[in-house]
Chains A and B, each alone.
Chain A
Amino acid sequence: MNSSTNKNPHERARRLIALTGPDGLSNNRISGSFSDERSSNAWLAAHLETCGSCRAFAENAAETIHGLRAIPIAAERSLVSATQMMVRRRALELQRQRERVWLVSICCAAVTLSALLSTVALWRGFEWLGARAHVAPSVWRVAFLVFCMMPALVAAILLLAKDKDRDKDKDQDWRLAAWIGSYRGRSE
């Protein structure tokens, strides 16, 4: 208890009553040392013997708390089973997701490993070809780079072409809509 409540014994008593509840201080529900509790308990008991208003407060508090405990809010069986089903379904989803992530990780690792190995082999292949064709090293190195970048370049070109087609379609749609609008305007 702080000093302000110590100055007012009624306030202190009521706070103690509120914090301990009907079970009393003996149930160790106030934070503090055991000796503090015992002394608070003794002080409260002595105070309640002499103070009628605090005694009334204690009785009311006890009734209020009993009243609080008497409010029955129960979960329905359907809610519980629906929740259990939802949780099981979500658990299954999460498990599948984890398995997918695991699979993708393994694939990534395999691709990285094969890329590393094939890069070394390709590098040596290009070097050998360059030597056979009697070209400068810079030439076969550029050829190697272009070869490595080829899949990404082709994919980028294809994607761009696809986007362009979509834009063209959109333009056509707009033109068609504008034409329909103007036709309607004319006919009205």
Chain B
Amino acid sequence: MVIEQYTIATTPKYNFPQPSIDTTLPQRFIEQSIRSLKHVQNQSFQLNQQAFQQADNIELHAHTFHLKMQPIILRSNHEETPIAACDTSTIKVGETSRGMLIAVRGANVWKHRKNYKYTRLGPFIFHITEENKREVYETLEKAYFLSAHKQDQNSVNLFQNPTRIASLLERWLQATLSGTMHDGLVLFDGSLTAGTADTPAGRLKQILTNARECRNIVLAFSKMTNLRVNGYLITDVSLQQRDPLLLETAGLRPKPPIILLGEVYVARLCHGNYAFRMDIDKENSTERRIEGVEKLLGNDILTQGYPETLRLAHILCTFTANEVIAMQYFIARKYGLRIINRPDMHKLLFGPYGRGESYS
């Protein structure tokens, strides 16, 4: 008996909505990483470790801003919905005489049925100097978003560069998720604020458009916020109603060129005093936004009110001390860098009263 074998071909790309970005592996990241590292060969470098916080809370001043005190009570929607999240992380691995060595890593996590899966990209190590900071950033930006955002890169502080490169990778990951998943929830770390140097409005708009075309709902979670009503942080408002609930905000008018592409809510998604600022793509109807949050409640684990998928994305991209040591070892071995132990001037001058890190 002959078993009939069907010819199984890979799914043609045109079956998916065509995103305006390339979803193949970030080759440019590798090229730029290696290229920048080649310039640093056989130098000496000072071990140093410092995590950069991404500026994901660009806050807005608006006198008309207020919270609607009538909460939206949420009910879990258990309709099976794929959930995906992404996050990136960057860390300074060391300093050279000309600049600094940084590492960037991103992670996509998705939950399907009861299992979480991930794709992790990186670490990419860059040697950033005053001379190459513009070239590195623009090359990456052009490669992934086809055009470079018009901004004078020379005016950007060298120390802002790591977070900007990480933001670039994060936007690329967000674009990839939004444009390849269907009928799901895409969770972003941070807000849906655009018009900043890191996040040009057009780029975030495009990501959100792609998400809508694929019938995805984008929910952005901010772990910290500076938005205040009557002097109180919006996440500190106490309510009598039982969780889970959403509080709507109104009258939030950012200063140009900053724009908000999401409706801002205060989300209390589980019992306990855990509230987050949540931005939901404002091009979705109110009902669809609420449906998105209810599907999140029904499909993901929410410990301390924070979605597990997003928590895992954060955990997977974060650098551990062990990894930093390994990267320093890698750089020293592969590029012949000599590790030096430059004394900490604070410690040197002020002894035990000196602040700052100790590199011993």
A binds B: no
Which A residues have a C-beta under 8 Å from some C-beta of B? none
